[in-house]
Amino acid sequence: MEFLPSDYFTYRDNELYCEEVPFREILEQYGTPAYVYSERYFVDRYKKFDAAFAEIPHRIFYAVKSNFNLSVIKLFAELGAGADVNSMGEYLRARKAGLAPKDVLLTGVGKTDEEIRRGIEDDLAMIKVESYEELRAVNEIARELGKVAPVAVRVNPDVDPKTHPYITTGLKEGKFGVSPEEARRMYADDSLEAVKFVGIDTHIGSQISSVEPYVETVEKMAATFRELRDAGVPLEHLDLGGGYGVRYENEDVFPVEALAERIVPILKPLECEVYFEPGRYLTANGGALGVKVLYVKKAGAKTVAVTDGAMTELFRPALYGAYHHVQPITQTPERDFLDTDVVGPVCETADFIGRGRRLREVRRGDYLAVCSAGSYGMTMSSNYNGRRRAPEIIVSGAEVRVARSREEYDSLLWDEAERLG
């Protein structure tokens, strides 16, 4: 039995299905490359995460950066989630998907004045600040607007999340957040009459696969939280950010219940609301990128399968050397296994989907599913090499709907074309 990262993409009679729909049917109808999402996966994962923390007052702010399709945001909003947005663009997406400003929090290490102004004007749930200078800027902008901005300082607990260095965010020398000492100075600054400290925030990294870094973080944050409250700061929430790891390969990843078991006892006595910002946990394994094999050739001892999917649809392998499982859409038990590099057509050696994969011989015209593409696939996509963004298809039971169509060449060209004179 081959490893499948998600129970929502399974084989029946050698054909890969997404829920009740043969993957092949979707790709034949909508073309490749195409992102295919399982709605049930999203719903079930959300409920699982929510249920794990039922014992403490909590709110889930879905990290829109993982998958910003309006239908996906809307789905989580309907389940009760708010949104964690990192920019005006993500904010406008959250609003368009139906979220009220009070259900949105604004994150980001480098917010523009325009983003901060809009956040304050619209009365967002909270604006995170990641430096003293930003805190002063928020205060200044709120003062100009005659309002009081709800703020949480992002504290850097100096915990190693043991993940890829590019997605490690809570170490002392990183660009994110401030040290606990700096945070104490910020919370104690009573010259800032246009900000209200409503909470304290952290986020130590992404794709974290063990509970230990979280336990250490929660212990440190709980201590700082208490200290601040004792000093008279009326904190209402503690925001733990996101980063909850998922299975890409056959690796061990903690179940969310195991995390809850360890951190709920530390959080409960604080008697505050706990915020979570999961992204990948909710979306990664709910998506697969369907691609088609264009050509197969030999390169030395290797077999190279060139597909029509590329780093433009899934940047993670090129950027982090990330593993994404590759599955045939149709299993071919009669064919032999070959060591295969699955690559894209973009003119970069880094444009690969998977290297050295033990796959049954693939042939021109075969379809492949690149797994775990529900997070940081479309949101990190690009038009490099003049490519169009791929469609996003949502499957729910036996139903298939297009949540975003394939980008048109015209919409890529019109603005520049009009300026040619």
Which sequence positions are flagged as catalytic?
Answer: 347
- Considering only 59, 111, 184, 203, the residue that binds ligand LLP (CB under 6 A) is 203
Instruction: Tell me the one-letter amino acid at 164.
Output: H
- Considering only 19, 39, 84, 313, the residue that binds ligand LLP (CB under 6 A) is 84
- Considering only 32, 38, 206, 327, the residue that binds ligand LLP (CB under 6 A) is 206
Question: Where would I find the beta strands (DSSP E) of 203-362?
Answer: 237-239, 273-276, 287-299, 302-307, 326-328, 337-343, 352-360
Give the span between the Cα atoms of 38 and 285, in whole angstroms.
Answer: 9
271: which 2 tokens? 């008697």
Nearest approach, Cβ of 176 to ligand LLP (angstroms)? Answer: 8
Site string for ligand LLP, 296-315 (x = CB under 6 A): --------------------
Nearest approach, Cβ of 324 to ligand LLP (angstroms)? Answer: 10
Q: Which is nearer to ligand LLP, 36 or 152 (CB)?
A: 152
> Does position 35 bind ligand LLP by CB under 6 A?
no
Give the span between the Cα atoms of 260 and 279, in whole angstroms.
Answer: 17
Q: Which residues pair with 37 in a beta bridge?
A: 287, 394
> Does position 66 bind ligand LLP by CB under 6 A?
yes
> Does position 279 bind ligand LLP by CB under 6 A?
yes
> Does position 278 bind ligand LLP by CB under 6 A?
yes
Cα dihedral value 69, 73, 75, 78, nearest 10: -160
295: which 2 tokens? 């050509």
Number of residues that bind ligand LLP (CB under 6 A): 22
Nearest approach, Cβ of 374 to ligand LLP (angstroms)? Answer: 11
Nearest approach, Cβ of 95 to ligand LLP (angstroms)? Answer: 19
CB 330 within 8 A of CB 52: no
CB 384 within 8 A of CB 313: no
Q: Which residues pair with 274 in a beta bridge?
A: 58, 238
- Considering only 5, 150, 157, 242, the residue that binds ligand LLP (CB under 6 A) is 242
Burial bucket for residue 18 (CB in 10 Å: 0-12, 13-18, 19+): buried
3-state secondary structure of 251: coil
Q: Which residues pair with 97 in a beta bridge?
A: none
> Does position 281 bind ligand LLP by CB under 6 A?
yes
Nearest approach, Cβ of 49 to ligand LLP (angstroms)? Answer: 10
Give the span between the Cα atoms of 392 and 257, in whole angstroms.
Answer: 31
> Does position 130 bind ligand LLP by CB under 6 A?
no
Give the span between the Cα atoms of 232 and 187, in whole angstroms.
Answer: 10
> Does position 49 bind ligand LLP by CB under 6 A?
no
User: Binding segment for ligand LLP among 134-142, 189-197, 200-208, 366-374 (CB under 6 A)?
Assistant: 200-208
SS3 track for 360-387:
ECCCCCCEEEECCCCCCCHHHCCCHHHC
3-state secondary structure of 159: coil
Between residue 93 and residue 122, which ones bind ligand LLP under the rule CB under 6 A?
Answer: 107
User: Binding segment for ligand LLP among 1-9, 331-339, 352-360, 375-383 (CB under 6 A)?
Assistant: 375-383
Q: Which is nearer to ligand LLP, 39 or 239 (CB)?
A: 239
In the complex, the residues that contact ligand LLP under the rule CB under 6 A are 63, 65-66, 84, 107, 167, 203, 206-207, 241-244, 277-281, 316, 375-376, 380
